[in-house]
Amino acid sequence: MAGNLKARLFCTLFASTLGAAICSTALPAHSQQAAVPTDFTAVVKQKAPAVVAILTKQMIEDEARQAPDDLPLGELFRRRFGEPRARERTALGSGFIVSPEGHIVTNNHVVDNASEIHVRFADKTDVAAKLVGRDPSTDIAVLKIEPRPNMAVAAWGDSDKMEPGAWTIAIGSPFGLGGTVTVGVLSARARDIQAGPYDNFLQTDASINQGNSGGPLFNAAGEVIGVNTAILSPLGVNVGIGFAVPSRTAQTVADQIIRTGKVERGYLGVRLQEVTTGIAQALGRSDTKGALVASVEPGSPAEKAGIKIGDVVTRADGQTIAGPRDLSRAVARTKPGSPLNLTVVRNGNTEELTVALGRPQEDRRSGMSDLQDSGRTSKRLGLSLVPIPEAARKQLGTDTAGLMVGDVEPGSPAAESGIQPGDVITSVNNREVNQPSDVAEAWANARRENRPVLLRVKREGQSLFVAVS
């Protein structure tokens, strides 16, 4: 994760063993008021009682120790030591109470695979908690405890009103030190850290460490505007780059779990492609904003609404779509059966379409939208392909079938063979191609037969053959 910084993304989960995962974040907050307090003692005194520590017991398996085949008594070694062994691990995270009935929000990774869950209050009282439901896609989970008299409850705020530079307050249990308060500013919004399909994190420089996962990020008014989730760090400790799930996402997910025990997301039925600079030029667009429709599933809500391959979706329910993930989040926020209004650009013309979203098929991963960020044909080949929109054919100088190259994975066979973004693949092994699956199938066959695959490529009006092995 951190590229040249050689940093790693950790989960703020504080465990009693050395191999424990580290993951956590915090975010700055915006008071949205003209008067900012000189300190935050009043906010902390009022809100800290609603923050709790989450203690879990998890069963994990040690990796099997392998013995070389020529080791004397190797078979005995393998029988005694070679099988993975399960052991119990105690871990610690944070959470916050969101209802008088005893509902508590935390991170999914804090309670994942937990055999026991307990909640510890500021007075060191421990009570048993049960898991109501969880959503791995957003790393949000909800617990339930028996209500206590005069139990403090945290109120949700509006993360959409937060701007970089606003104050934020994180309260949690870093390294098991319950009730720890750290303050920072909101560093950035809408961060995509490749943690899940709906990444839209708030970034903060508030000090967040192991054990802060699942804790609240407050604004200066004492409202929860984020759930601390991850840090970017080369060492697993805070370096001033933390991330939180924005309250707009976390509250929606938590409310659904409290009501039904699960999360339901709408189903559109498309595969999406980033609008790269080359694709934008080919389409005659002045920018790369929007989500390019790479394919439409037959019989899907998208097909029924009239969405076509080559459409560029630019708005959803009035909100600008900067890329595929924006559309993915818009669909995820919409319940199955509800309408979603889309603005699409087709052959240079703008059209308004209304889609009645469906329900994801049972064989799709629970909690996941059907939207995917690009028609990746094969990780080993390293190409992202999309059918050529009609409006682009004239500029590309082709009136035949073909596929446009969107992205080329660095170091992949495609990259090493000289394939470039913006190339048009017109044939594979001398057969016309119409869908990314045509190339994927040919590549799979070539791998099985241990031979190169021959691509005919059109680039800047010129045709050439490229053998990829």
The residues carrying an active-site annotation are: 109, 139, 213
Residue written as token pair 């469906």: 358
- Strands 8-12, 201-204: pairing is unpaired
- Single-letter amino acid, residue 94: S
Q: CA-to-CA distance for 19 and 21, rounded, in angstroms? A: 6
- Report the DSSP pairing between strands 126-128 and 114-120: antiparallel
- Token readout for 99 is 């209802």
Distances (CA, A) of 127 to 8, 298, 390: 34, 51, 63
Give the integer Cα–Cα distance in Å for 51 and 49: 5
Q: How many residues does the chain have?
A: 469
Which two tokens mark 455?
Answer: 């691509």
State the residue for tokens 């013995």.
67
Which residue, among 5, 4, 1, 22, has the nearest Cα to 13 in the 3D structure? 22
Q: How far is CA 206 from CA 11, 235, 454, in A?
A: 16, 17, 53
Give the integer Cα–Cα distance in Å for 84 and 133. Answer: 29
Whether the CA torsion 163, 197, 358, 307 is positive or negative: it is positive
Which residue from 293, 291, 288, 346 is spatially nearest to 323, judged by alpha carbons?
A: 291
Q: Are 312 and 355 contacting, i.e. CB atoms less than 8 angstroms apart?
A: no
**Rounded CA gap, 186 and 196, in Å?**
21
Alpha helices, DSSP H, located in 270-372 = 277-283, 301-305, 324-333
CB 131 within 8 A of CB 141: yes
Percentage helix, strand, coil for the chain under 3-state DSSP, each rounded to 5? 20, 35, 45
The structure tokens listed for 89 are 């691990």
Q: Are 356 and 337 in contact (CB under 8 A)?
A: yes
Residue with tokens 């979706």: 313
SS3 390: helix
